[in-house]
Structure 1
């Protein structure tokens, strides 16, 4: 699951470049930064010809079964679902972030970030709905750095996989099955230990 993530153009040089390029390209269309919620308009990376370029898209496909939006797609079953199949074949995207949030069973908010990079690339897909481009984040089984908090996590791409994910359809199935790299975690609470001596 990925229900909230964070984009910070202050600490990430790569994200700052993406935001600046969007400002030059789109002018008054502003992409949200900071804590990102479903239905926010945010910077993502898509194919434009043979280049990867930033665009501003809304997070979440319309939920035709009721209210709300679909924000995630399970990587293991996405090819089986009509809503996601064509997107996986023709409209793959990358969601840059500094990290994402999950909540443990005690409802404590935990922030996950890459161990050695300043930017995280989440695999996604996008589509058009009533002349509006929207995206979802692909998720996969949690690795050992997050599994005690949640059983799902975003499908993460390395810097070297960006072009493969966007342009190489032959690699799509392999990337969908990969285990994401390990993450650091931070939380707003600190565990207290009692010193009995």
Structure 2
């Protein structure tokens, strides 16, 4: 978790949500997948004199973090997620936790409920969105990888946390959600050390999201339309939480 998400809000709504960050117009994206470019919000380089807007910038990065010390990305796993409990000390994420924390805008994410083989039930995809609608900000990390020829690629990963009780019947992990009142503290890597923002990396309240069962069309990256979020009827309602495989930062969605 998280292996697919969507960003369908207008640029105007995003500018308001992130306190005036400068954004170009962009199309709605219903099926954002690993290795694709994603929009992220980073701390700016200094607020203009007299401005009352937050000091933030929007940039594009490749979804799948590559640490700066990696020699050849082809020999390194695709890190789309980072466990918040261990990111501070893990070599792949330590530098980014200290120097390059980011916000990743989304209007929701997709997750699979995978029953045990013994149950005979089929996996079920869910579109997980804020109960009140609107935009959320995933906590993320960013790294710039440089190749031997000097070219650079900005890359990013989503931080995850244990699922709250509202989501645990689907999966045991979920993205870390940063609230607007905490944006500045999360992005401030100059004065806020990782240990000082640990309290922000906790599950969001249980009733924040709602889970809508959807078809397995989201499995295919080529499917990119709003029909991906159309509800479907499920044969059985979700049961009590089951123990899922751990999220190790790899492709856990499929």
1 or 2, which has the higher helix percentage?
Answer: 1
1 or 2, which has the higher strand percentage?
Answer: 1
Is residue 109 of structure 1 aligned with residue 125 of structure 2?
Answer: yes
Is residue 61 of structure 1 aligned with residue 65 of structure 2?
Answer: yes
Q: Which residue of 2 aligns with 1:43?
A: 39
Root mean square deviation, CA, Å: 2.7
Is residue 129 of structure 1 aligned with residue 145 of structure 2?
Answer: yes
Q: Which residue of 2 aligns with 1:185?
A: 211
CA distance in 2, matches of 1:65, 1:59: 15
Q: Secondary structure at the match of 1:174?
A: helix
In 1, are the aligned partners of 2:139 and 2:176 still within 8 Å (CA)? yes
- Please give the residue correspondences for 1:65-144 in structure 2 after superposition, counting only pairs within 5 Å: 66=75, 69-105=78-114, 106-130=122-146, 131-144=152-165
Shift of 1:65: 8.2
Q: 5+ residue gaps in structure 2? A: 47-54, 115-121, 147-151, 215-231, 237-254
Q: Normalized against structure 1, the TM-score is what?
A: 0.83
Instruction: Give the aligned length.
Output: 186
In 2, are the aligned partners of 1:32 and 1:43 still within 8 Å (CA)? no
Shift of 1:67: 5.9
Q: 5+ residue gaps in structure 1? A: 25-29
CA distance in 1, matches of 2:234, 2:29: 30
In 2, are the aligned partners of 1:114 and 1:183 still within 8 Å (CA)? yes
